[in-house]
Amino acid sequence: MSKSLISLAVAAALLSGCSLIPDYKQPAAPVAAQYPQGPAYAPADAAQVAAAEQGWREFFRDPALQRLIEMSLQNNRDLRVAALNVDAYAAQFRIQRADLLPAISADAAGTRQRTPADLSTSGRSGISSSYSATLGISAYELDLFGRIRSLSQQALESYLSTEEARRSTQISLVASVANAYLTWQADQALYQLTQDTLKTYEESLRLTTRSSEVGVASALDLSQARTAVEGARANLAQYQRQVAQDLNSLTVLVGASLPNDLAPGQPLDGDLLSEVPAGLPSDLLTRRPDILQAEHNLKAANANIGAARAAFFPSISLTASAGTASADLDGLFKGGSGRWIFSPAISLPIFNAGALQASLDYSKIQKDINVANYEKAIQTAFQEVSDGLSARKTYTDQLQAQRDLVKSSEDYYRLADRRYRIGVDSHLTLLDAQRSLFSAQQSLISDRLAQLTAEVNLYKALGGGWYERSGQANNAEPRPPQG
């Protein structure tokens, strides 16, 4: 008997290392080894700090924006939900991992029972007692074919996936707060520009009205001047509404009301952002959290295949307990009161109408789906970075051209105003110069906002926004939950 138990224990120990999980091989990245080259792209510059490791405090140089990002990381509800999801999956992993070890429980019970005379074998009523105390395990499955370990590995990869999802949520939050703040600043600049332009239009209307009263300006000139004023007033109301709505959007992202002592924002044409290096497409595989999340989901699906395969093999479970039992409480721990039970059970699937094979097929299909999702995440990341790099070069050229256009429009307006005042040109020429200048100044602000937004999105696409300061990458990787 003892030799059989020893043999069974040795066999279980040997088989416990068996795993039916397929060997994992990282799919090849379906993108080029280099980012696109051409006239729309600037030459790549090497840098000491990768974009993903550049802290957001170093990238965003506006102190007011830094403070708002810090507040959002503390208060934003989406980020809070993402963190709670990580805790939830960590708990699920610990639950699944606990099945690898037997659950031991201690039980004590006592019973006193009166039996009536007509039910007693002796024909007399009586009172019987029984007491027991046991220590044992119940239905502990020997993981001979790795089913439980496969499920535990799947739970671990799911936990790591949610951790990467939390990182992705934070990176998106940092970029969203920055873009909302920059939009707010741009709309305030447009609002201020419209106010200044309206004053110019009103002054022009005043002069035209005076000229009309003395018969110098025509009724058409007066009507054109009034049209310009009313158009500027309509634009002013539009930008006033946009500034208020921008503030509301920013408040939701920050998760709290903006502080009253928030420092004034730096002007849009200031040095708001630092330049980030692009690196190589292969860097995205190890630095972008959404790609890492997709790969952990793929590994989880791969582990599920091992669990589905193990379901085809016998399942062995053990139930055992040892303790004492006695009819008297004071005799519970006396000699001769000991008792034990050992109840192994084996379950072998014979016929299940193809359910096990369908389960295995389903797990393989799920793996193929996750492979496609992983490859799609890489392609999306490659496109976002490529778009950001092209925007960097082309917006630089566009902004310079727009600044030159604003300067030319200012010269045109000064000449038209001087010539109108001395009676050389008509009011229509002056009005055209005013509108051209206003339109060019509006476009310059909009183009600057688009450039800044593109730089923020490039920083996000490269995986930046997870670290507060540079140099924190060595101790911030997700780890398996303890406990």
Closest CA to 178 of 51, 300, 57: 57
Looking at the predicted structure, is the pLDDT value of residue 71 above 60?
A: yes
Q: What is the pLDDT of residues 328-378, one digit of tens each?
A: 877 777 877 888 888 888 998 988 899 999 999 999 999 999 999 999 999
Q: Which CATH number fits domain 108-142+315-348: 3.40.50.720, 2.20.200.10, 2.40.400.10, 1.10.760.10?
A: 2.20.200.10
Q: What is the pLDDT of residue 121?
A: 78
Closest CA to 172 of 247, 84, 69, 24: 69
The pTM score is 0.84
Looking at the predicted structure, is the pLDDT value of residue 459 above 90?
A: yes
| Cβ(285)–Cβ(468) below 8 Å | no
Lowest mean pLDDT among 56-70, 96-110, 146-160: 96-110
For the ranges 11-20, 229-238, 418-427, the one whose mean pLDDT is highest: 229-238
Looking at the predicted structure, is the pLDDT value of residue 47 above 60?
A: no
* Amino acid at the residue 67: R
Paired with 338 in beta bridges are 324
Q: How far from chain centre, in Å, is Cα 132?
A: 55
Examine domains 30-100+146-312+355-475 and 108-142+315-348 and report if their fold is the same. Answer: no
Distance CA 349, CA 358 (A): 14
Can you name the CATH fold of 30-100+146-312+355-475?
Outer membrane efflux proteins (OEP) (1.20.1600)
Tell me how crowded residue 163 is: count the other CB atoms within 10 A of its CB.
25
Mean pLDDT of 436-455: 95
Q: Taking the domains of the chain in order of start, what are their residue ranges? A: 30-100+146-312+355-475, 108-142+315-348
Structure tokens at 78: 């989406």
| Cβ(426)–Cβ(412) below 8 Å | no
Distance CA 100, CA 282 (A): 37
Q: What is the pLDDT of residue 6?
A: 44
| Cβ(261)–Cβ(348) below 8 Å | no
Distance CA 323, CA 342 (A): 12
Residues in the chain: 483
For the ranges 11-15, 292-296, 311-315, the one whose mean pLDDT is highest: 292-296
Query: Higher model confidence: residue 176 or residue 214?
Result: 176
| Cβ(476)–Cβ(66) below 8 Å | no
Tell me how crowded residue 282 is: count the other CB atoms within 10 A of its CB.
11
Mean pLDDT of 185-206: 92
Lowest mean pLDDT among 17-21, 91-95, 247-251, 380-384: 17-21
Query: Higher model confidence: residue 257 or residue 211?
Result: 257
Q: What is the pLDDT of residues 244-275, one digit of tens each?
A: 999 999 999 999 999 999 988 889 988 999 98
Three-state secondary structure along the chain?
CHHHHHHHHHHHHHHCCCCCCCCCCCCCCCCCCCCCCCCCCCCCCCCCCCHHHCCHHHHECCHHHHHHHHHHHHHCHHHHHHHHHHHHHHHHHHHHHHCCCCCEEEEEEEEEEEECHHHCCCCCCEEEEEEEEEEEEEEEEECCCCHHHHHHHHHHHHHHHHHHHHHHHHHHHHHHHHHHHHHHHHHHHHHHHHHHHHHHHHHHHHHHHHHHHCCCCCHHHHHHHHHHHHHHHHHHHHHHHHHHHHHHHHHHHHCCCCCCCCCCCCCCCCCCECCCCCCCHHHHHHHCHHHHHHHHHHHHHHHHHHHHHHCCCCEEEEEEEEEEEECCHHHCCCCCCEEEEEEEEEECCCCCCCHHHHHHHHHHHHHHHHHHHHHHHHHHHHHHHHHHHHHHHHHHHHHHHHHHHHHHHHHHHHHHHHHHHCCCCCHHHHHHHHHHHHHHHHHHHHHHHHHHHHHHHHHHHCCCCCCCCCCCHHHCCCCCCCC
